[in-house]
Chains A and B, each alone.
Chain A
Amino acid sequence: MVGTPVDVIPYIRGIQLVLIGYNGYTKGSRIENDKIIREEIARATSRVRSHMENIFDIQFREGNIGLARAAKRCMEECDYLSEDVNKAASGMEHAFLSGQHSPSNKDLKKLIKHDHEVIEMITKAVNIANSSEHSMGTEDGNSKQLVMQTTQMITSCRGFFGARMNILSGLKSKKKRK
């Protein structure tokens, strides 16, 4: 993308609040933008996992196997997401006649929106994970619910992140009706 389209500027600004070096896949920086997006998702995932590790350790040592099991399940889901992100397809300019699809500007616009939504989702997951650990500390009884909510959010994020492959491969997807 030579020039930044106006309609994706809000999304770019939103991502830039989290990732300072992000510039919306401008020409010459696509690889770096792609990497920092994925690294940010992986980092947020590791944050969620760290919270869940804390919950798991404490609950397992206290013998609360039910909550420990839920936290372990969430950690496994984080591992899956992290592996998906680390081994995900990257959108970049490919060599001439390499037989690979290079994303068009339209694809990149979609990708920017998608990145923004994924980061929002994973950020929510981090917040819920943080709340669950906090809830465990305050013993308000919502820990298990929050842990399971985190697991659900991570699972959703994993599924949503999988749509990135479709965007990069230029597949048409149905617009969501509001």
Chain B
Amino acid sequence: MSNYRWRDSPDTIARLVNADKIQTMSSQQVLLKPNEACALIVDGRVGDILTETLLKSMAGGFARWLGDKVGVTANDRRLLFAMTGPMDYWIPFEGQIANGEAVKGFANFRLRMNLEDVPKLLNYFANNNPTLTREGLIGIIATEVRARVVTPCLATCSSAADLRSAMFLERFEMTAESEMRNLLSNLGFTMLKAFPITNPTDMEKVAEHRAKVQAQMDGNQVNVEAQLAHFSQTEALTLARIEVETNVARAKARGQVTVELESELKELRAQEAKWDSEINYERNKMEIRVDEADAKTKRAMDMFAQVQAKKADRIANQQNFQQQRMDSQNDFQQKMMEMAAENGALTPEVMQEMLRQQTAQKAVDVGRTGGVNSSAKVCSCGTVLQPTWKACPNCGSPIV
């Protein structure tokens, strides 16, 4: 007993085997896994559809050869093997969307075969070779997929962006489900899923390039902004540092100036105090001098007053004396006149002589007293100046 392998490539989907052509000494058996099925077609009739089993003595072997020769076995025995699990099929397409952009891509169809649908593959094998591969199935359904599914769906897209929308994918799948059921059902397949994968269109490439350039520009812009921000920060930092340094320097200068001013002020205060002391000293000196001058003046005034008083006394004495002398002289002259008169000697000559002597006497008296009056000077302040004075004792103005 040897194992028969009906599938030697992952692309093989189904195979129709004519069991009569398998002429081997040992009988053949085949193991059917859960995703494999075998439909027995005996004498033109569809028999059992087997899966998950070990199909023993499917072909070959002496017993079957002998039975054929004797004529106790079926005249025609064919085994239709098929994969029942889901398989993906990629169907290339080209088309245009509504705005004329060319679209290329693949339509993915995920197909499965139900166990009871395996004999439907006879529809395929009736006109094709006995091995069905992915390429063979794609070759059969591709035209109809493009005509019934791809083209109508692409026609509804007004731009490349519509190709990427979930709505388009859903419409594509629904259209495929609806439109492809007839063909797939005839072949025994059930569609599980369908979706398109479109390559980027020319406009999308342009948009992609534009987006890349824009992204690069934006990146550069961001870098520039970051650099500018960095510069701005640096500038602000520098300005702040300069301002701080300036403030510090200013504060230092201000402090220094303040210190200097304070020192100057102290010096000035000291100078002021010195000057005050000097002024006070000078003032005191001046006051002393003034006091001295006042004292001198007072003393001079006192002395002058004493002199004036003495002078007044002396003048009074002189006047008294002269008065007394004139009185005595008048008395004397009167007595003389009376004696002359009594002695009859009173003649005009005597009278004239007496008047002449009296006038001479008065002239002498006036010379003593009147000479002083004529030579006395008066200051602008009204003080009577003596001939021996060099300055007015009252106002201090010099006497020329």
A104–B86 alpha-carbon span in the complex (Å): 34
Contact B52 A76 (CB under 8 A): no
A79–B86 alpha-carbon span in the complex (Å): 10
Q: Classify chain B's interface size.
A: 10 to 19
A57–B84 alpha-carbon span in the complex (Å): 24
Chain B 302-322 interface residues, beta-carbon cutoff 8 Å to A? none
Write out, one digit per residue, whether chain A residues 73-103 have a CB within 8 A of any chain B CB (1) or not (0). 0011001001100110010000000000000
Contact B178 A83 (CB under 8 A): no
Q: Does A117 contact B (CB under 8 A)?
A: no
Q: Does B365 contact A (CB under 8 A)?
A: no
Contact A35 B181 (CB under 8 A): no
A177–B193 alpha-carbon span in the complex (Å): 41
Contact A90 B86 (CB under 8 A): no
Q: Which residue of chain B has its CB nearest to the CB of A39?
A: B115
Chain B 96-115 interface residues, beta-carbon cutoff 8 Å to A? 112, 114-115
Chain B 326-352 interface residues, beta-carbon cutoff 8 Å to A? none
Chain A 24-63 interface residues, beta-carbon cutoff 8 Å to B? 35, 39, 42-43, 46, 49, 53, 56-57, 60-61
Contact A35 B52 (CB under 8 A): yes
Chain A contributes a number of interface residues (CB within 8 A of B) equal to 23
A35-B52, A46-B114, A53-B181 given as contacts; is B174 within 8 A of A76 (CB)?
no
Q: Nearest Cβ in chain B — how far from A52, in angstroms?
A: 10
Contact B34 A86 (CB under 8 A): yes
Count A-B contacts at CB 8 Å: 42
Q: Does B192 contact A (CB under 8 A)?
A: yes
Q: Does A116 contact B (CB under 8 A)?
A: no
Contact A42 B177 (CB under 8 A): no
Find chain A residues with CB under 8 A from B88 CB. none
Q: Which residue of chain B has its CB nearest to the CB of A61?
A: B178
Contact B170 A60 (CB under 8 A): no
User: Of B114, B174, B190, which is within 8 A of A72 by CB?
Assistant: B174
A56-B178, A61-B178 given as contacts; is B52 within 8 A of A79 (CB)?
no
Q: Does B133 contact A (CB under 8 A)?
A: no
Find chain A residues with CB under 8 A from B86 CB. 83
Q: Which residue of chain A has its CB nearest to the CB of B174?
A: A60
A35-B52, A86-B84, A87-B35 given as contacts; is B177 within 8 A of A72 (CB)?
yes
A72–B192 alpha-carbon span in the complex (Å): 10
Find chain B residues with CB under 8 A from A15 CB. none
Q: Nearest Cβ in chain B — how far from A65, in angstroms?
A: 8
User: Of B34, B178, B190, which is within 8 A of A60 by CB?
Assistant: B178
Selected A-B contacts with CB under 8 Å, 10 pairs: A46-B114, A46-B116, A53-B181, A68-B174, A72-B173, A83-B112, A86-B34, A86-B35, A86-B84, A90-B52
Known: A42-B114, A57-B178, A86-B115. 7 other contacts (CB 8 A): A43-B116, A46-B114, A56-B177, A60-B175, A72-B174, A86-B34, A86-B84
